[in-house]
Structure 1
């Protein structure tokens, strides 16, 4: 149950993190302000959205890191629980279930001589 909550939170944070990174302006985008674009009329004020979006990105990155660690912990805990319970390893079962094709010495090898026909042999004549 808690693992499912962490996975859902992890996915939502990942989507939010990608969206925030795409919304942020690059360093070269500020040059337009010097030519009279007027940053004082923006939603985030004259300072711009840089600090707000940067802070929110850092918070989401920290949450993403923590959920990644949480999922790694639950994966290792689940693997050790399977090993302690004496259950067979599922990957080992897959490897054992698919045996290699048997090689038989009884199958004859057909070797034919594939020499190309010369120009005069068994070639029908062209109609005139």
Structure 2
């Protein structure tokens, strides 16, 4: 279960240095019924955005230049403890997943991210969404 309930009105922030991944995840979330989806290309930009707006969900890449995703996860846990964070990585190892969850992530998405994986994640977190497979 997510820390704060996530629903269709939840503000969502996707943080990834890869523009194609950010865009793909954003498109999938919009198709799943979420309209308040923003993207950020760096942890520093994400920190600035977090100061200005309350996000209910942050989807965060682990491996990024400069400030890495695990450091941002710790910052979010310290400053915005009610924010749900899902870590995302292409080089996910059992250790990465274990560390992310221990640090406070609610879950982990492996890359490549697929629509089906996001729906499975939302099922696991008990988050409502428009099922893409039922249309």
State the TM-score, normalizing by the size of structure 1.
Answer: 0.17
> As a proportion of its length, which structure holds more helix?
1
> As a proportion of its length, which structure holds more strand?
2
